[in-house]
Each structure stands twice: as structure tokens, then as C-alpha cells.
Amino acid sequence: MRYLYYGLFVIGAYLVLAMVPLFVLLVGPDIPGRGFWRELSVGLGFAGLSMMGLQFFLTGRFQVVTSPYGIDVVYHFHRAISLLAFFFLLLHPAILLLSAPATLGLLNPVSAPEWITAGSIALFAFALIVISSLYRLQLGLGYECWRMIHGYVAVAAVALSLGHMIGVNYYLQVSMKRGLWIAITITWVLALLYVRLVKPLLMRRKPYTIEAVIPERCSSWTLLLRPEGHAGMEFKPGQFVWLTIGKSPFTIREHPFSFSSSALHPEKLAFTIKELGDFTATIGSVTPGTRAYIDGPYGSFTPDRHQFSGYVFIAGGVGITPMMSILRTFADRHELRPLLLFYGSKEWEEVTFREELELLQSQLNLKVVHVLTEPPAGWTGEQGYIDAEVMGRHLPEKRMECEYFVCGPQPMQEGIRSALEQLGVPSEQVQSESFNFV
């Protein structure tokens, strides 16, 4: 309930902050009206820009913003609201042009005042951000290249939009309205400075050393990190961080990874990483002693938020990492509640943490159900994909009193959600973590 109220408060705060510039247009000394369509166009421009500026808060990984929902939900919201904001920004010139076709000439950068051209370039910059985000994979843009475009072009687009607004100097003639926009701009700049400067500086004060790089089954590696001169990081089992290895904390070359270690040991952190792309393919060659920085903890994929009488975990492939953190933490806490893990893998030899899961079954009230798509000859366990039938055979009678955690490839997550729905599990009892939210 606490999270619900807080979540509603965050949504309310977002709406107020996004709409304040519009309300402020209405207060203060009257400015002679310029007709409905022109005012609507300007209002949409203000609202769109205000929403774009607020993106610095949504993507700045501020705990106050992310804690009620989890960062993946906030990123989805960021994506959806950006499209709406971009639509408002597009409507701003579109309505002007349609209601007063004479303004078409303003699109010519040679003859148009520079503040109009600034607005046009800003619109192109926002379009570039939207298109590169929606079609990143189709355009063949690597994640890092995309992130660079996204970060720098966004700042340029917002700055140019502000320049456009100041240049128009219509509503901003009124000192109160000008003051408000200056205050809004300052908060955006402060958010940006915090994310790009203050946060990396804080991370630099808390470095980690990679103590060991341990090979695991299925082309995965476990990195053990020791804090250098500080107590480490407190986190909840199931959460994740952004990890930077061998580079300055100011770099944008950071990647998200879930803790795989017990939350009761903030002084000895482990991350288990599967070789999937250009960065993760290099993990096996990281040398012990390399310095690392972590930004976190983030995420709401943890059993520590709500109390249930049992927990069911459903993992596919490397999606086992947050579950390992949860199970290792539970073992350290001497947890007695019933736990059930469905773990989908391709082959028996590829089952990461297979031996430790065996051990955990003897330490906890835990049952592990391995589900293999390519089982070895003589395999008597479950095979194929984890679906309603497989789960139905193993779920406890009190399945409605359990909380469910799902982490794995996107198609698996969707399949599990509908399978659980078929089995009558209320969707609010199902938590999922996506390793692919960008």
C-alpha cells in the first residue's frame, strides 16, 4: 500500500511539473490574445518542451522516481511520454502553419530569424532521437553509439528549444513567467549536472577491485568485487547495478547487471555475466585487480518489498542471476518459507549454478524443477518450455498465497505471464525483470 500511495504521488508530481508552464501562462498580467489556434500551438509547444525537460529526471536513475515501480517501468514510461511530447512539439509548428500559411516562409533558414531556425533544428534533433530509439536495431546502431546520440542530442535539442522560446520573447516578456522558465531550466541543468558530474564523482569515491573472474557453465563468468576502502553496497536481493570496468566512472560505457551474491554480504559482491555481445564477450579476459565502479542499487524485482507465505521463481538462461542472489540471501537468513524454482535451460551441461542449486535444496525449503529443451538421453525430468502444464504439475496447493518472480528472454516472460494467468495467479503477484529494456 505504501508503494501504491507513493507511486500515485510520483505520477501526480509528474503531471503537475509537466503542466506548470501551461498554468503559468494564465496567471499574471494579461497579454493580448493572438487567436485560439496560435495560443493552442504555443501551449502545446510549452507542454511538449516541459515534458522533454522532465525526461532528465526520468532517466537520471533518481531513487525517488524509480523506487515505487522499478526502473524498467520508468524507462517504458519515458519512452511512451517522449512520443507524446514529440507529438505536441510537432503540432506546435503544424498548427501555426495551417492556421497562418504565411508563416511557411519562416522555415527558410536563410531568411528566418535565428531563433526560429533554432526551433526548427530542435525539432529535427528531437526527431533524430525518436527515430534512432524506435529503430535502433533496424538502423544497425550499436547500444553505445545510440546512447551517445540520445544523451548529447537531447541536451542540444532542449537548449535550442529554450533559445527559440527566449527569441520569440512573447510570454517571457512578463517577468513572472520569465522567472518561472528560468527556474524550470535551472532544475533541468541541476538534474543533468547531478547525473553527469556529481554521481560519477560519488562513484569515484567508492571504487571496487575485481578480485576474481570465475568461469561458470554456459559461457558465463562470475566477477567478484571487493570494495576499496569503504563498506561496499547495501542492496536488496534481486536488484541490479550499472557496472563500469577498467574505465572512469564518467564514461557512458556502463552495463546493467543483477547481483548474484547474497545481500547479507555488501562487502563481497558478485555479478554473473553471460557472453552475449561485444562488451560481455570480454568479461572472461578481465584481469583480477582491475578497478570497477558501480551505480546502484536499482530495481524492484525483490521479495523484500512484500511478504508472502511462499515464493515461486521462474528463470530462463542467465535470468537465473537475480534468483541466485535471492536464494543465497534466503539461505543466509535461514528462510523457512517454501520456495519453488523453475529453471529453463537448453542442455543439462549448460545449467549455470547447477551444483550450487543442489546444495541450496538441502539448506532451504526449496524445490528446483529443471526444464530442458534438449535433454540428454535417459532424462526423466521436465522437458520443452516452461508452460502452464509444467507449472501446474509442481505448483503448491497454496499457489494463490505465493509471489512469483520471472526473469528470462522476452518471449519466455510473455509466455509465463499468460500461463500464470491461466493457472489463476493474480497478475499483481507476478514480478518480472527484463534484461532488455533498451
Ligand X SMILES: Cc1cc2nc3c(=O)[nH]c(=O)nc-3n(C[C@H](O)[C@H](O)[C@H](O)COP(=O)(O)OP(=O)(O)OC[C@H]3O[C@@H](n4cnc5c(N)ncnc54)[C@H](O)[C@@H]3O)c2cc1C
274-303: which residues touch ligand X (CB under 6 A)? Answer: 274, 276-280
Minimum separation from the CB atom of position 227 to ligand X (A)? 19
The closest alpha carbon to 324, from 398, 220, 228, belongs to: 220
Q: 407 has which bridge partners? A: 315, 433
Write the interaction track for ligand X spanning residues 123-162; mark x where CB under 6 A is met and - where it is not.
Answer: -------------------xx-------------------
Give the number of other Cβ atoms within 10 Å of residue 257's Cβ: 24
Minimum separation from the CB atom of position 36 to ligand X (A)? 44
Instruction: Return the axis-axis angle of helices 114-134 and 143-168, rounded to nearest 10°.
Output: 150
Tell me which stretch binds ligand X (CB under 6 A): 126-134, 253-261, 335-343, 344-352.
253-261
Write the interaction track for ligand X spanning residues 308-347; mark x where CB under 6 A is met and - where it is not.
Answer: ----------x--x--------------------------
Give 214's contacts (C-beta < 8 A, 6+ positions apart). 221, 222, 223, 224
Give the number of other Cβ atoms within 10 Å of residue 338's Cβ: 17
Cell digits for 381? 525430468
Q: 161 has which bridge partners? A: none
Minimum separation from the CB atom of position 111 to ligand X (A)? 43
Q: Does 353 contact ligand X by CB under 6 A?
A: no
Q: Is 54 helix (H, G, I), strand (E, B) or coil?
A: helix
Cβ–Cβ under 8 Å, residues 241 and 251: no
Q: Does 355 contact ligand X by CB under 6 A?
A: no
Which CB, 188 or 298, lies closer to ligand X? 298
Residue 82 per-residue DSSP state: H
Minimum separation from the CB atom of position 59 to ligand X (A)? 12
Q: Is 342 helix (H, G, I), strand (E, B) or coil?
A: strand
Query: Strand (E) positions, 317-364?
Result: 339-345
Using CB under 6 A, which of 56, 257, 311, 353 touches ligand X?
A: 257
Q: Does 224 contact ligand X by CB under 6 A?
A: no
Tell me which stretch binds ligand X (CB under 6 A): 7-15, 78-86, 273-281, 339-347.
273-281
Cell digits for 429? 503477484
Alpha helices in 169-205 (DSSP H): 175-193, 199-204
Tell me which stretch binds ligand X (CB under 6 A): 248-256, 306-314, 327-335, 348-356.
248-256
Whole-number Å distance between alpha carbons of 18 and 16? 5
Q: Does 258 contact ligand X by CB under 6 A?
A: yes
Minimum separation from the CB atom of position 153 to ligand X (A)? 18
Which CB, 142 or 288, lies closer to ligand X? 142
> Applying CB under 6 A, which residues contact ligand X?
142-143, 240, 254-258, 272-274, 276-280, 318, 321, 433, 435-438
